[in-house]
Structure 1
């Protein structure tokens, strides 16, 4: 975490269950959907040049990829804020995920998926919400990557590397070139809500299934650097940063409740239990969870990575059971960002119903 010029790093637990190797705070880590913020910055850079219009239909750029009514009515903005009415491709891409998650993950470990195929699967699947309503879908950001490729003539990963990662001065952030993480890292264990027992290491994995929606690797220090520079106006001009921070409700609240999470363009704002609102994103891939949040001016920040995923358990009614890990993560992040003493945030409630769990980027549904 950071507060102005002050910085603190810490780690707990083990990086390898077999050897007992301890976790370190400078390890490289798969950051999942935090990749979306980088992809959105790249698209907004092209908006600033006039090559992309936020409210232009995606069919104007990619008519063969997104044909018909969707191509005419889904805009670039709708892709970036998940109001496109396009479904996620995860279940079609991993068809055994619900019945046998372990087998699905094992079979997909070295399987390469082209972004065009991921889009096709997403377009063919049933959406969770109609166009105009928020419904998180990785498909949106795979399309955004292909849009970048169309207007820049470069692979989107190369464009993001040269114009976002390097522009931000990040030294340990990259799209992996193989199934392996290049630098020192922890093993990453997937439990899939207890259906994979004991939890299995998936730190070696072909990330083509995530692409410009979630394939990147980074460190917690790099993520704090990135969000501080982004929120401080160093990566986008003021007009595009305003667009990025223009949000929609991320869920439908119960009667009389406040919406505690709103999604912009690859960036969300979240109200913590102690009352403050913060900006950032979370990410989750098989075995690795990440959460990076900042005050609006980027002065106070916290980023946390963990190497056990889908530790939650569900009751017979399909509802999540009380979970001390999620409570602890939320309390820890709240304390880090707000400076509130630990005794005042200890035992806070989990994220309000309808929100994703911290660090749990929805790569797959609960059973």
Structure 2
């Protein structure tokens, strides 16, 4: 990682102030598709990040890196004196009383092997933007690729209900009453600093999101929204939590609304729309529009400020595209007939 790596502390990993670069997402995505029957273990992600060295001196600024979560996973393996990283039971992070209550019955952490082997996992479709040839767009069914997904960085599989429940429990149920964290720890987690990543768009444009410790705020589509009434209280629509997105699925908004006291999460099985019967360009804003409309409907129930979910007008001529859906089955591509609309699921916990 570089000569300053010895300065990195656990809090730096949790707060994204380690300076560690993120892994090469483009390479890892291609690796996963090309070797669909193999698993890219956590060391491969760390090596990808380490090749770039530190982006800055530890604690000098906040830069997001999934490799931080991988290192935190290895830390837990060491603390619990486990033989292998594969022995880590990530469900142990849920307090026993909450786990046994059935509140997280649709939450699991996938390990080695293809996603198709796990019962209850939704099919997810990766938009292969680089495979646009002869006016044809391909979507890859990730059910037939490795489900390890970066290990502690991204192998969580859950329902919208369970995720909304998690953030509701995290913010409303203190550790003293059987919850996840004490008030002191939660306060530290929600002490934010600016995240210096241009991919994260916030109130000040690219690179203006904020990060605490595992909690993100001021992100477009999470808790930064355009309001219909520009004089309304913007803090009323904020959602403290953590959105997530991989190559074929995501969840956002996902977190807890402190103003009205509810947890919410919307999950989707494609990062863009997959409606190929109309102007294909409409798909690029489909997830943002759908999640905005769903969250706006929830806010309306509480009498909260309403969101402006109007997408920008597309200036270019309509783009008519043929679409195919493929999967890697025994290393041979087979085309599927699947729905051309991304499935979504929304849950609100009050």
Q: Give the shorter-chain TM-score range.
A: 0.5 to 0.7
Structure 1, unaligned stretches of length 5 or more? Answer: 1-65, 313-320, 351-367
Match of 2:166 in 1: 226
1-side partners of 2:189 and 2:260: how far apart?
Answer: 15
Match of 2:269 in 1: 307
Asked whether 1:122 is paired with 2:67, we answer no
Deviation at 1:160, TM superposition (A): 2.6
CA shift in 2, pair 1:289/1:199, >3 Å: same
Q: Is the 8 A contact 1:78 1:84 kept in 2?
A: yes
Asked whether 1:273 is paired with 2:226, we answer yes
Match of 2:247 among 256, 272, 286: 286
Match of 2:319 in 1: none
Greater mean alpha carbon deviation, residues 336-345 or residues 288-297 = 336-345
Asked whether 1:180 is paired with 2:125, we answer no
CA shift in 2, pair 1:347/1:229, >3 Å: closer
CA shift in 2, pair 1:114/1:201, >3 Å: closer
1-side partners of 2:78 and 2:300: how far apart?
Answer: 42
The SS at the match of 1:207 is coil
1-side partners of 2:146 and 2:95: how far apart?
Answer: 21
Please provide the CA RMSD for this pair: 3.6
Q: Is the 8 A contact 2:125 2:269 kept in 1?
A: yes
Superposition pairs of residues 97-112 of structure 1, within 5 angstroms: 101=30, 104-112=31-39
Match of 1:203 among 110, 133, 143: 143
**Deviation by residue 1:148-199 (Cα, 9 ceiling, x = unmatched):** 1111224487343123275542112111243225333432111144746231
Greater mean alpha carbon deviation, residues 135-144 or residues 157-166 = 157-166
Greater mean alpha carbon deviation, residues 128-137 or residues 215-224 = 128-137
The SS at the match of 1:327 is helix
Match of 2:90 among 160, 174, 185: 160
1-side partners of 2:39 and 2:197: how far apart?
Answer: 36
Higher strand share: 2
Q: Is the 8 A contact 1:273 1:349 kept in 2?
A: no
Match of 1:135 in 2: 63
Asked whether 1:242 is paired with 2:187, we answer yes
TM-score (norm 2): 0.65
**How many residue pairs end up in the alignment?**
269
Asked whether 1:88 is paired with 2:22, we answer yes
Greater mean alpha carbon deviation, residues 75-84 or residues 303-312 = 303-312
Q: Rg bigger for which structure?
A: 2
